[in-house]
Amino acid sequence: MFKGWRIVALVLGLAACDGIEIYGTYDQYTHLTTDPIEIVMPPNAPYISEQFGRAGELNDTPHEGIDIWAKLGTPVIAAAPGRVSASFYEPGHGNTVIVEHGRDTNGQKVRTVYKHLKTRTASKGETVVRGEQVGTMGATGALAMLVHLHFEVRRARTGNYYTPYDPMLFWVQGPGRVTCFEADKTYADMPFQITYPVPCR
Ligand SMILES: [Zn+2]
């Protein structure tokens, strides 16, 4: 019997129950049709377990956001200032919070989406500043097999269909340069730029 399976089972068990803490590393782009972005990951940022755009989760549809691993109950924080437009439970993706960030400098409406939350701490209509807690990390919804945050950036020029974009394009420090939120820093509100949706240690 392959002894490694015990470790695999233990790791999966821990991930399913409590979440796993790994820092400073990330999933490589593997199934992207567009050019992969070079990633610079801060050593204190929780692990990105899955990038945007590759097949994943329970089917072969492209992954519409990034997944981040941390401990169950870790704060999930707004990636940019905005207003909560929805806070709800949905069977597939569990507890979900959506934050609207207004129109970007190119005229597009921008929103960020936070899924599989254990708890939602922001309610519809609430204004949030960058870094403000919107929920806690969990594994709610049938599509969450492990404790993680599924985080999306979506934009729409008109109407209500918001196209998913690679979050890696929008970091405060530039494309691919994952940017931790720092409470004592001042950030420009526009153009739309994000900080990490989970606190760095
Ligand atoms: Zn995901």
- Residue 144 alpha carbon to ligand 1 centre in Å: 8
Question: What tokens appear for 22 in the block?
Answer: 């790994």
- Residue 146 alpha carbon to ligand 1 centre in Å: 10
For the chain, percent of residues with pLDDT exceeding 70: 86
How is residue 130 annotated by DSSP? T
Q: Is 197 left (phi over 0), alpha (psi -120 to 50) or beta?
A: alpha
- Residue 65 alpha carbon to ligand 1 centre in Å: 6
- Residue 40 alpha carbon to ligand 1 centre in Å: 20
Superfamily designation of domain 4-169: Glucose Permease (Domain IIA) (2.70.70.10)
Domain ranges of the chain: 4-169
Q: Is pTM beyond 0.95 here? A: no
- Residue 195 alpha carbon to ligand 1 centre in Å: 18
The yes-or-no verdict on residue 1 having pLDDT over 50 is: no
**13 — pLDDT class (breaks 50, 70, 90):** low
- Residue 159 alpha carbon to ligand 1 centre in Å: 24
What pLDDT is recorded for position 53? 82
pLDDT digits over 178-201, tens only? Answer: 999 999 999 998 899 999 999 999
Question: What tokens appear for 145 in the block?
Answer: 């097999």
Work out whether strand 55-56 and strand 149-156 pair parallel, antiparallel, or are unpaired.
Answer: unpaired
Average pLDDT of the segment spanning 103-130: 96
- Residue 115 alpha carbon to ligand 1 centre in Å: 8
Top-confidence residue, 30 or 142: 142
- Residue 126 alpha carbon to ligand 1 centre in Å: 25
* Cβ pair 137, 70 in contact under 8 A: yes
| Residue 38, φ and ψ in degrees, nearest 5 | -70, 130
Question: What tokens appear for 132 in the block?
Answer: 């403000």
The yes-or-no verdict on residue 33 having pLDDT over 70 is: no
| Residue whose tokens read 């240690």 | 201
- Residue 78 alpha carbon to ligand 1 centre in Å: 17
Please give the mean pLDDT across all residues of the chain: 89
- Residue 31 alpha carbon to ligand 1 centre in Å: 15
- Residue 170 alpha carbon to ligand 1 centre in Å: 18
pLDDT digits over 50-91, tens only? Answer: 999 865 545 567 889 999 999 999 999 999 999 999 999 999
**45 — pLDDT class (breaks 50, 70, 90):** very high
- Residue 151 alpha carbon to ligand 1 centre in Å: 7
For the chain, percent of residues with pLDDT exceeding 90: 72
